[in-house]
Amino acid sequence: MQIFFDDRQCLHDPKRELHNGDWTDYFESASRARAIGSTVGKADAPGDFGEAPIASVHSPEYIQFLKTAMTRWREAGRSGDAIGYVWPVVRRRALQFGRIDADLGQYSMDASTPLTEGTWEAAYWNAQCAIAAANTVLSGDKSAFALCRPPGHHAGRDYLGGYCYLNNVAIAAQHALDNGRKRVAILDVDYHHGNGTQDIFWDRGDVLFASLHADPATDFPFYWGHADEQGEGAGAGSTMNYPLPRGTKIAGYQEALRKALERIEQFKPEMLLISFGADTFSQDPISHFELQAGDYSLIGSDIAALGLPSVIVMEGGYDLETLGQNTAEFLSAF
């Protein structure tokens, strides 16, 4: 299986995040990418496919914001990483501001996802990996893996959050549709709900989004991923959420997975894109499922049994000791 990674993805390097009312070390570190890379095998640098595939998912204003935010933050006299402090919780709409703090809230959903000097470049090459993996599968390979980091599935069309800036899996899915595929499915098996991906394809009938994740009543991102969220308009019924309780073990996980896979089969997609997170692992420091070493090959096999061309995109997973091995195990099924 071809694997894509670019060293520039490590240029994104936040110093800290807001957590439990105070600063804490940033969990989504560049070491994650190195831990995965050193285990899953040789990676290729992606080609440069430019901004167009990114702009087919994210708004031009948001892309411009990501590119310029740090310069504006510095011009405002601020040291350290950039984060917002107020958010448009009601009647959010596209507005133009003359202040970086306003844009930080307009284009984000949390105070835990800082922008740093290298964020745009890292996110850009991250997205190129996802596009390269999609191209590989579009060209006939059975599967490909985009070693994305920072992750992407919490990022919406015009907002960052949950460690995510560009929605890599959404960019890959849209790229497949823009290159001849008529229907694609996205399966999200990260511990956390892929709210950004859901939001991007919320009213779209050509993309099925199915997500298994910790119940948002207790886990981030809280406000999305509840079972009654099923899409709207042309997308009504094309969003499927399977919230699972903390403590979920492989049996409960596979039961929900079977339902999601049945729904994907019914949808008859031409390609499957998988948001893979290893933060479902029992020892993950920020998560609360009870999957064990060995379970990832079972999950991989269940999904691979669909027999669909598959693009696997890395999302979360924060236990540096096991992250590479669990990911490699999952990939081995494809």
> Residue 46 has what DSSP assignment?
P
**31, 56, 179, 218: which one contacts a copy of itself (CB under 8 A)?**
218
Regarding 94 and contact with a copy of itself (CB under 8 A), the answer is no
Distance CA 226, CA 230 (A): 9
Applying CB under 8 A, among 35, 69, 109, 169 the residue interacting with a copy of itself is 109
The string over 135-164, giving b where at least 16 C-beta atoms fall within 10 Å of a residue's C-beta and e elsewhere, is: bbbbeeeebbbbbbbbbbbbbbebbbbbbb
Residues that bind Zn ion (CB under 5 A): 190-192, 277, 279, 316
Contact call for residue 156 and a copy of itself (CB under 8 A) = yes
Q: Which of 52, 55, 64, 78 binds a copy of itself (CB under 8 A)?
A: 78
Q: Which is nearer to a copy of itself, 92 or 259 (CB)?
A: 92
Residues 55-74 that bind a copy of itself (CB under 8 A): 73
Among this protein's residues, is 154 annotated catalytic?
yes
Cβ neighbours of residue 261 closer than 8 Å, sequence gap 6 or more: 187, 302, 303, 305, 306
Rounded to a whole number of angstroms, the minimum distance from the CB of residue 234 to a copy of itself is 17
- Report the residue closest to Zn ion, judged by CB: 316
Transcribe 53-75 into DSSP letters: HHHTTS-HHHHHHHHHHHHHHHH
Q: How far is the CB of 92 from a copy of itself (least distance, A)?
A: 6
285 lines the binding site for a copy of itself (CB under 8 A): no
Query: What is each CA distance from 277 to 47, 120, 210, 323, in whole angstroms?
Result: 24, 22, 14, 9
Six token digits for residue 224 = 């999305």
| Phi, psi for residue 146 in degrees, rounded to 5 | -100, 110
* Contact assessment for residue 147 and residue 1, using Cβ atoms and an 8 Å cutoff: no
For a copy of itself, the closer CB: 8 or 72: 72
Interface residue list for a copy of itself (CB under 8 A): 18-22, 73, 76, 78, 80-92, 95-99, 101-102, 105-106, 108-112, 114, 156, 159, 161-162, 199, 216-224, 226
